[in-house]
Amino acid sequence: MTSNEDLASMVKELSAHIRSVRPAPWVLPNEVPLSRQAIRGMANLRKLSIRGVAPTGSTTLQSSAALKDFILSFAFYCPTIKDLRLARLEFQCYYDLVVYVTAFRAVETLDLKSVTWSGGGPDPALDDGGSTYLGFGLTSVPTLQITLYRQDLPTWDFTVGSWGSSIQSLTIHIANQTREFRGLSTFSQLRHFELRMADDDIRTAPAALLHIKSEHIKTVRIVHEAQMRDMRGWLPTLYEWLCFDEILSEPPYTSLTRVTWCLLSNKPDAEGWFLDLPRCFSRLAERGILVCER
C-alpha cells in the first residue's frame, strides 16, 4: 500500500488557492490549505502556484504570518522548485516580496500576477542596485513574467535591486494603464521581450522598446488586444505613426531573429488590419523576421 509520504513525493506540480473564511483580506494559521508536515513530503515538487482569493471588496490577499510561513515552508522543504507563480498577493513592503522570491534558490521561472506591496516603496537598504537579498536570489532566474493591473500600487521599479542581472526572458502584461519603463534598461542579459497591451495603451509600447538596451536581444513579441469602441481610424495607420518598424530596425534590435505581432480583435475591420500588418512593418518583413498572429 502506498503511504502518504510516497504520494507526497510523487507530486511534481501544485496549485494552491488561499482564502480567508472571514470578511478580512488575510489568513489565519487554520486557513492555509496544507500543513507544514504535508509540505515536507513534497521533496520532488517542480512547479508551485499560490493564488490569493481576496474577500469581496478587496483585490489582493494581504500577507500575514500564516501566509508567510506557508510559502516559506515550500522554499525550505522543496528545494527542487524551478517554476514559482504567485498571484493576487499583497506584501507589507517591497522587502517582504524580495524575501519570498529569493528564498526559492532553484527557481528559473518567476511569474507574478497582481503581486504588490502596501508600503510606500522599496526598503532603502535595497536601493543600491547590488542588494545581497535581490542579487543572491535573482542571479539565477532567467525568466520573469509580470502581470500589472490598474489596482496595483505602488508601481514597479526595475531600477531597484538586481532584477535585470540575469533575466533572459521578460514578459510584461499591462491592462488598461501606462507604466514607467525606464528600468527596462537594467535588463542587460535580455534575449526575449514580450509586451502585452490592451487598446489605446499600445501608444506607450514604443517607450518600452526604446528603453531596452540589451545587446543580446533576439526576439520580440507584441500582443495587442484591440477591443476599444473608438479605434480612431485604421489601426495599421496608428502602428505606422508609432514608428514600431523604425524602432525595431535600429540598435539594439539589428540582430533580431524574430518579431511577432499578435493582433487580438473581434472588430469588423480586424481581418483587414491583420492583412495590412506586413505593410506597417515593411523593414521587418524585408528582413524576413516578421511573424503575424491572430
Q: What is the pLDDT of residue 154?
A: 56
| Cell reading at 195 | 509586451
Question: Residue 92, SS3?
Answer: coil
Give residues with Cβ within 8 angstroms of 41, minimum separation 6.
Answer: 4, 5, 7, 8, 9
Please say whether the beta carbons of 21 and 30 come within 8 A.
no
CA 103/CA 98 separation, integer angstroms: 8
- DSSP, res 55: P
What is the sign of the dihedral through the CA atoms of 230, 236, 238 and 244?
positive
| Cell reading at 55 | 474577500
Q: What is the pLDDT of residue 135?
A: 41
Reported as a single tens digit per residue, the pLDDT across 85-140 is 988 888 877 777 777 888 888 888 888 888 877 765 555 444 444 343 444 445 56
Angle at 83 (CA atoms; ends 188, 44), nearest 5 degrees: 140
Which runs of consecutive H residues, i.e. helices, occur in the chain? 4-9, 36-40, 65-77, 94-102, 132-138, 205-211, 235-241, 244-247, 270-275, 277-280, 282-286
- Specify the pTM: 0.80
Please say whether the beta carbons of 91 and 121 come within 8 A.
no
1 Cα distance to chain centroid = 42
CA 91/CA 118 separation, integer angstroms: 6
Reported as a single tens digit per residue, the pLDDT across 250-265 is 999 999 999 999 999 8
Reported as a single tens digit per residue, the pLDDT across 192-234 is 999 988 887 888 899 899 999 999 999 999 999 887 765 555 7
Q: Kindly report the number of other CB atoms within 10 A of residue 42's CB atom.
A: 23
Reported as a single tens digit per residue, the pLDDT across 5-59 is 667 778 899 988 877 545 455 555 556 667 888 888 898 999 999 888 765 555 5
